[in-house]
Amino acid sequence: MAYRGREAQLEEYEEEKKLLLYQNKEATKEVNQLSKNYAKLLGHQNNKQKIQHIKRIKEENLRLKQEVVKLQDQLDKEKRSTRKLENQILHETTNTFDRLATPLKPCINSGNIMKTTSVKKSR
């Protein structure tokens, strides 16, 4: 049961990773569009409008860069968490198989009834 919970959490992290990558891609597209608009306005004759527009573009560019950094940090954190969960699942799966593969040794009980007990492996 612990596997299902971790696998579900792992799937949630993967979905969040996809969302972050998509948002990063969209932010990049928006920066490119703003750059194109900036290029169009360079030919504009009203200097006051040009200055205000450039100021808005620079502010937007700064905001988008900060958002990209934030999203990249979040993505890195999710990747580390995903790797940690994968390692935990792998470790638990290995332990489960080790327990299943433990050989049984016969043990004689009083009354001539045979029982088996697991033999512990020395590591």
Number of C-beta neighbours around residue 7 at 10 A? 13
Tell me how far apart the alpha carbons of residues 67 and 76 are, in angstroms, rounded to a whole number: 14
| DSSP class of 110 | T
> Where are the domains positioned within the chain?
2-118
Indicate the pTM of the whole model: 0.42
Tell me how far apart the alpha carbons of residues 90 and 102 are, in angstroms, rounded to a whole number: 18
Tell me how far apart the alpha carbons of residues 107 and 73 are, in angstroms, rounded to a whole number: 57
pLDDT in tens, the chain (123 residues): 566 778 888 888 999 999 999 999 999 899 888 888 877 776 656 777 778 888 999 999 999 999 999 999 999 999 999 999 999 888 887 777 666 666 655 555 555 555 555 555 554
Q: What angle do CA 80, 83, 88 make, to 5 degrees?
A: 125
